[in-house]
Amino acid sequence: MFIRKVPHKDKKNRKQYYTYKLVESVRTQRGPRQRDVLNLGVDFQLPKEQWKDLANCIEAIITKQKLLFDYPYEISRLAKKYARTIIRQQSIAIDEDKDVISDYHTIDVNSIDNEDARTVGAEHVVLETIKELDIDRKLKALGLNRLQISVALGVIAGRMIVPGSERATHQWMQNTTGLDELIGADYCRVSLDSVYRASDLLLKNKDALEEHLRGTEGRLFDLKEKIILYDLTNTFLEGTGKFNRKAKYGKSKEKRSDCRLVTLGLVLDMQGFPKKSRIYEGNISEATTLEAMIKGLCDKDINAASGFKPTIVLDAGIATEDNINWLRSKHYHYIVVSRKKKKAIPSDVSMVAVKVDEKHDTVLVKAGLAKNQKTDELELYCHSVDKEKKEESIKNKFQQRFEDDLLKARNALDLKYGTKRYEKVVEKIGRLKEKYKLVSHGYKVTIQKGNKTDKARDITWSRKKTDNTCGIYCLRTNHKQLNEQQIWDIYTMLTDIEDAFRCMKSELGLRPIHHQITRRCDGHLFITTIAYHLLHTIRYKLRRQGIHFCWTTIRKQLSTQVRITTTMKRKDNKVVHIRKSSKAEPSHQAIYDALNLSYQPGRIVKTVL
């Protein structure tokens, strides 16, 4: 084999350019001839003095010849890449659905090798879910070509299987995954820029893709959008984020207020399927986002003929009076967490059990309804045993810290350089009350001033008698046909959206964001949202079959199924290359059975060279 430089002329501008081809000499009836083996393209950059070494290395890999000496890393890397392409191009697929004629060969058993292992277990599940949701067809309908579609699917699958940045996804596509074989593409030829462009294309078609997924999931699983859950979360950026107009400093839910943030708003239905997402500035007020998200999602097409509208469920951060008035004006039913300060449960409210620990026969949550005449709403007062224990623990911890600091302030009155001036002591106690405002209102603190000096003489404190409101929270709703159990059950669905954010951050690599410009950051968040559509679809189907694993466990189990090439040398010195997936293990089979998938990802292909 050898490499040839072939001149060409561009038909449009008549400019000359060159391509590079791998050529071999073959014997024919009319004598020796030269045959093109592989087109190396126009971007072949290897110096001419290394061409022969590359050709020899490729030939040695294909024919399983022993190398006399080791080639440099770059030549070995390119040789393996091109040899893999040649074997693929000259392979013959074996259809497992048909009876295959036995094919016997005399081989050298000592020559058997396994190489080019690529993971396909999780890829098989993700790709079949993509096909089930018709994402590939939708991308084609949106005008993406075959290469763009294959890269876009790789970016989405990469976010599910190896969560990370687009750069990490590109490395995974080129070196680890067998997804391209399942799709019928070749990721070895995909550049890093192509991966970033795929992110841009997905973001460009965000609204169309979300509407498509919403409709497809609704048809597949017969989803009824009776209840809409809405919440926001934020995540932080690595780096300055100065080129991202949405990156702002704010209160971080991950305790990373030292970094700029961006905010993701998400709407789910009662089964936990995403319906709509939107990306906001990191310092946006939660309460100002509701109208834009619900409007357009619910007003357009949710059972327009019957006039039905879903029940909106909100956390306290979004449930402002303005938002509740807007929901009421649009004739929505709502269940929200009351923003009013905690108070004891009214004496005339009768409490009933809404959550019971059947194993230990204990009541975990009790709730009681009361009518609010001013707002014409029902208020559900809830008392949670677990919440009470947690709040009591926090309260006791802060009380102890507050009393310890008060004791230090009192002891300082007797120290040589301690704070003694009355005005300074009053200021110091005021700062302590502000620092521990969660518990300081429950204390009476007295500072005694000396009779003849401007110094404080003593500091005393005692606890006030206050109502115990630990574990108590209040829900408000205009849905008057519901009882205590129904209202509480609907409210607890908000845990689904918290679970969605937790999955995005911990299992899908939402945080941190390494991009520095707005569209790339938005693209990163949207790719994660699409990945969550797939994750929840897989999890929803598995749960219906009694499998309750988290996605991290599922992909870890499936990672042991690989696609591998087995090579063996025949008696006539030709080499047989057989590429197929490893046999599915029982743990793989349980997942595949639940999802109704084949045990054998990809086709079996055979090449004789």
The backbone region for 242, taken as left when phi is positive above 0, alpha when psi lies in -120 to 50, beta otherwise, is alpha
* Domain shared by 414 and 521, yes or no: no
Spatial distance between the Cα atoms of 269 and 267, rounded to a whole number of angstroms: 7
How many alpha carbons lie under 13 Å from residue 307 in its C-beta half-sphere? 2
Residue 99 lies in a domain: no
What is the side-by-side order of every strand in the sheet holding 352-357?
274-281, 261-269, 227-236, 311-314, 333-337, 472-477, 377-384, 362-372, 352-357
* Domain shared by 155 and 219, yes or no: no
Q: Tens of pLDDT along 209-236? A: 999 999 999 999 988 878 888 888 888 8
Range with lowest mean pLDDT among 130-134, 139-143, 184-188, 394-398: 184-188
Boundary-marking domain end, from 204, 226, 257: 204
Residue 247 lies in a domain: yes
Residue 223 lies in a domain: yes
* Domain shared by 47 and 18, yes or no: yes
Q: Would you say residue 57 has pLDDT above 50?
A: yes
* Domain shared by 156 and 76, yes or no: no
Give residues with Cβ within 8 angstroms of 82, minimum separation 6.
Answer: 22, 38, 40, 54, 58
Q: Tens of pLDDT along 168-191? A: 899 999 999 999 999 989 898 899
Spatial distance between the Cα atoms of 309 and 304, rounded to a whole number of angstroms: 9
Q: Tens of pLDDT along 244-260? A: 899 999 888 778 888 89
The backbone region for 303, taken as left when phi is positive above 0, alpha when psi lies in -120 to 50, beta otherwise, is left
Beta bridge partners of 474: 381
Q: Cα separations (Å) of 414 from 29, 420, 428, 450, 567?
A: 112, 8, 16, 13, 87
Structure letter (DSSP) for residue 66: P
Spatial distance between the Cα atoms of 56 and 79, rounded to a whole number of angstroms: 9
Short-list 519, 594, 471, CA closest to 279: 519
Number of H helices and E strands in the chain, helices first, is: 19, 19
Spatial distance between the Cα atoms of 298 and 86, rounded to a whole number of angstroms: 53
* Domain shared by 435 and 464, yes or no: yes
* Domain shared by 249 and 275, yes or no: yes
* Domain shared by 115 and 141, yes or no: no
Global confidence as pTM: 0.81
3-state secondary structure of 304: coil
3-state secondary structure of 474: strand
Determine the pLDDT at residue 539: 93
Spatial distance between the Cα atoms of 34 and 367, rounded to a whole number of angstroms: 85
3-state secondary structure of 538: helix
- Whether the CB-CB separation of 255 and 289 falls below 8 Å is answered with no
Give residues with Cβ within 8 angstroms of 255, minimum separation 6.
Answer: none
The backbone region for 374, taken as left when phi is positive above 0, alpha when psi lies in -120 to 50, beta otherwise, is alpha
- Count of structural domains within the chain: 5
CB-based burial, 74-88: b 16+ in 10 Å, e otherwise: ebbebbbebbbbbbb
Q: Would you say residue 301 has pLDDT above 50?
A: no
Give residues with Cβ within 8 angstroms of 420, minimum separation 6.
Answer: 412, 413, 455, 456
3-state secondary structure of 255: coil
Determine the pLDDT at residue 497: 85
Residue 476 lies in a domain: no
Residue 285, class by beta-carbon neighbours within 10 Å (0-12 exposed, 13-18 middle, 19+ buried)?
Answer: middle
Determine the pLDDT at residue 289: 84
* Domain shared by 410 and 330, yes or no: no
Average pLDDT, the chain: 88
Range with lowest mean pLDDT among 86-95, 395-404, 507-516: 86-95
* Domain shared by 314 and 281, yes or no: yes
Short-list 146, 148, 150, 192, CA closest to 169: 192
Q: Tens of pLDDT along 472-523? A: 999 999 988 889 999 999 999 888 888 888 899 889 988 888 888 999 999 9
With a pLDDT cut of 70, the percent of the chain lying above it is 96
The C-alpha angle 126, 132, 133, rounded to 5 degrees, equals 90
- Whether the CB-CB separation of 318 and 294 falls below 8 Å is answered with no
Boundary-marking domain end, from 156, 174, 204: 204
Determine the pLDDT at residue 393: 94
pLDDT band at 13 (very low <50, low <70, confident <90, very high): confident
Spatial distance between the Cα atoms of 502 and 234, rounded to a whole number of angstroms: 11
Range of the domain at 358: 344-468
* Residue whose token pair is 């970033």: 196
Q: Cα separations (Å) of 330 from 296, 333, 348?
A: 12, 9, 33
- Whether the CB-CB separation of 226 and 477 falls below 8 Å is answered with no
* Domain shared by 315 and 370, yes or no: no
Spatial distance between the Cα atoms of 192 and 460, rounded to a whole number of angstroms: 68
Short-list 203, 190, 213, CA closest to 136: 213
Q: What is the 3-state secondary structure (H, E, C) of 396-450?
A: HHHHHHHHHHHHHHHHHCCCCCCCCEHHHHHHHHHHHHHHCHHHHCCEEEEEEEC
Residue 474 lies in a domain: no
Q: Would you say residue 100 has pLDDT above 70?
A: no
The C-alpha angle 150, 152, 154, rounded to 5 degrees, equals 70
Tokens standing for residue 381: 């007062």
Is the peptide bond preceding residue 512 cis, with omega within 30 degrees of 0? yes
- Whether the CB-CB separation of 19 and 40 falls below 8 Å is answered with yes
Determine the pLDDT at residue 335: 92
Residue 541 lies in a domain: no
The backbone region for 307, taken as left when phi is positive above 0, alpha when psi lies in -120 to 50, beta otherwise, is left
Residue 535 lies in a domain: no
Residue 251 backbone dihedrals phi, psi, to 5 degrees: -85, 110
Q: Tens of pLDDT along 534-566? A: 999 999 999 999 999 999 999 999 999 999 999
The CATH number of residue 255's host domain is 3.30.420.10
Residue 66 lies in a domain: yes
* Domain shared by 364 and 387, yes or no: yes
* Domain shared by 368 and 438, yes or no: yes
Residue ranges of alpha helices (H) inside 166-280 are: 166-175, 179-183, 192-204, 206-221
Boundary-marking domain end, from 468, 496, 511: 468
pLDDT band at 101 (very low <50, low <70, confident <90, very high): confident
